[in-house]
Chain A
Amino acid sequence: MRLRTAFAVCLTLAALCLPLAAQPSGGGADEFGTTDGNDLWIPASQFVAEGSAVGHWLTGLPATDYYIGINSHVYALAPVALPQGALVDGWDVMYYDNSATNDIQVELVKTYGDTTNAPTIAFSYFGNFVSSGTPGYATHHQASGHTIDLREPAPATSVTRDQAVDSYRFYLSMQNDNNLAFRGVRLTWHRQVSPAPASPTFNDVPVSDPAFQYVEALVASGITAGCGSGNFCPNASLTRRQMAVFLAKALGLHWPSR
């Protein structure tokens, strides 16, 4: 019987148990499983205009929910609230470009921030898109494949991960042209199981075990401590009692809200 092993695999796949730091999740971040297809819709209304564009970032032109920068170059940012370890499959940029000379630029930005004693602000950019020529309403699909990692890069000096506040945002730049408008970004993502560690936790689940990665993910998430004596008993049958413990711990069940 390999039911317990199979259960660990299934549970891990379904409810990704990432031991890493994570950021708040937004709409669309509440779906489970590793299948492609979770959508995160970030409308133009969530983009905060910066600088001289403040007060010139208006909706309704040229169509409902489209925003333009009235007589102003718009620079705007919107938070991307995905859990640690999420795989960004790609995103669709929905916009209106009726300008022969000016463009819309959209890209994903990771901001690094040490806010302790001497802030060092840095950026990484992913999937830069600049609209071109084709007039009218359009949607651009940007393939990605980026894994969300909110941790400060390892070489960061004198900053512990607890003190870092890395985050992802979408960055929008629209040149000063009333023939440009922006509707939003629809991001598609899915969950991943965290990579396997280098060394095993249990004597009976070595790195060569087909469920090694999944069993370790449960350990890292506090869902199992094994069956005693440093083992997990991967081939033991699971009782309904044991399964209840696994499930309740994994999902933090169930606190009354009334």
Chain B
Amino acid sequence: MRVRKAWIVSCFAVFFAISATLAAQTSDGSDNFGTTDGIDLWIPASSFTGPAGWIEGPAFGYFYSTAEASYHAVVPLPQGALLDSWRAFFYDGSGTNNFTVGLVKWLDDTTANPTPGNQGFGVFTSSGTPGYNNHHQVENLTIDLREPSSGGVTRAEAADFYSFYVVMPTDFQVAFKGVRVVWHRQVSPAPATATFNDVPTTDPGFQYIEALVASGITAGCGNGGYCPDATLTRRQMAIFLSKALGLHWPNR
């Protein structure tokens, strides 16, 4: 264990002296299921990118900047996720400078005539209270990665995404540790018209059955029907489950 102790000492001793090379962190946050509130997505400061001078310190996992700049990290949530809230962790030991964090949606037309724009959501700027702290921000935002229908851009051409940004002063007394996002899944809204002649829009299962159709999991029971009141056999259940989850390709 001598090596580990040496590492810890070394790390804390040199935090203020050197800059860190950032590696992209792959994350998609889409691996949890169910509609319960409370799935967490942790986006650490090391996932934020921007100008050079984004340095870990003054404590383990906290980053500060050597130049006034903003840094961004993509929010990798699936389409239709409900972003309930987020909590930003930071350190503000400065009497004059502050720390700002916010959520933004980038509206990008990536075709021949790009018209970038953005739409802001929750923003927080630290004030007064010195030391380690965190801020809780309620959003209740449904993630929609599609380009708004206006503007002459088709949705297939758009590349919208959400990101968190932080605005850092030139002050190592202001540091940022990361954002913890709380989200949950939702079932997509029901379409206007029915796919099956035996599942009208008034059917209590309409929204859910349409969601299976849109996902390619069912094509009905034939003759334009879904047979919603038919009992499910174990064979049918096996087919539904295997299709829905893409089970199971060996990787050994």
Q: Which residues of A approach B to under 8 Å, CB–CB? A: 1, 3, 6-7, 10-11, 14-19, 21-27, 29-33, 35, 37-39, 45-52, 54-55, 57, 73, 75, 78-79, 81, 83-84, 105, 111, 113, 115-119, 121, 125, 130, 150, 162-163, 165, 167, 171, 173, 175, 218, 220-223, 237-245, 247-258
Contacts and interface: CB of A to CB of B under 8 A. Distances in A.
Contacts of A125: 4
Given A238-B231, A257-B79, A252 B186 contact: yes
B76 interface: yes
Contacts of A19: 34, 36, 38
A46 to B, nearest CB: 5
Nearest to B218: A244
A113 B134 CA distance: 13
B36 A237 contact: no
> Which 9 interchain pairs have the tightest Cβ spacing?
A221-B34, A252-B185, A255-B80, A24-B27, A222-B36, A241-B228, A241-B205, A25-B31, A248-B208
Interface in B170-226: 177-178, 180, 184-188, 199, 203-205, 207-209, 211-212, 214-215, 217-218, 221, 226
Contacts of B23: 45-48, 78
B237 interface: yes
A195 B223 CA distance: 44
Interface string B161-177: 00000000000000001
Interface of B: 3-4, 6-7, 10-11, 13-14, 18-44, 46, 56, 59-61, 76, 78-81, 87, 89, 131-134, 145-146, 155-156, 177-178, 180, 184-188, 199, 203-205, 207-209, 211-212, 214-215, 217-218, 221, 226-234, 236-238, 240-241, 244-248, 250-252
B11 A50 contact: yes
A38 B31 CA distance: 13
19 contacts: A7-B232, A15-B33, A25-B28, A26-B25, A26-B28, A29-B28, A48-B22, A52-B18, A57-B21, A79-B46, A116-B132, A163-B87, A223-B34, A241-B204, A241-B208, A241-B226, A244-B211, A244-B212, A253-B211
Given A32-B248, A54-B21, A247-B240, A25 B209 contact: no
Contacts, number: 287
B237 A117 contact: no
Nearest to A21: B40
B46 A52 contact: no
Given A115-B89, A117-B131, A150-B40, A54 B18 contact: yes
A97 to B, nearest CB: 14
Nearest to B59: A119
A110 B226 CA distance: 49
A254 B19 contact: no
A118 B231 contact: no
B133 to A, nearest CB: 7
Given A130-B3, A244-B208, A254-B188, 13 more contacts: A21-B38, A22-B40, A22-B41, A79-B44, A117-B133, A220-B36, A244-B218, A248-B209, A248-B211, A249-B34, A252-B81, A255-B80, A258-B156
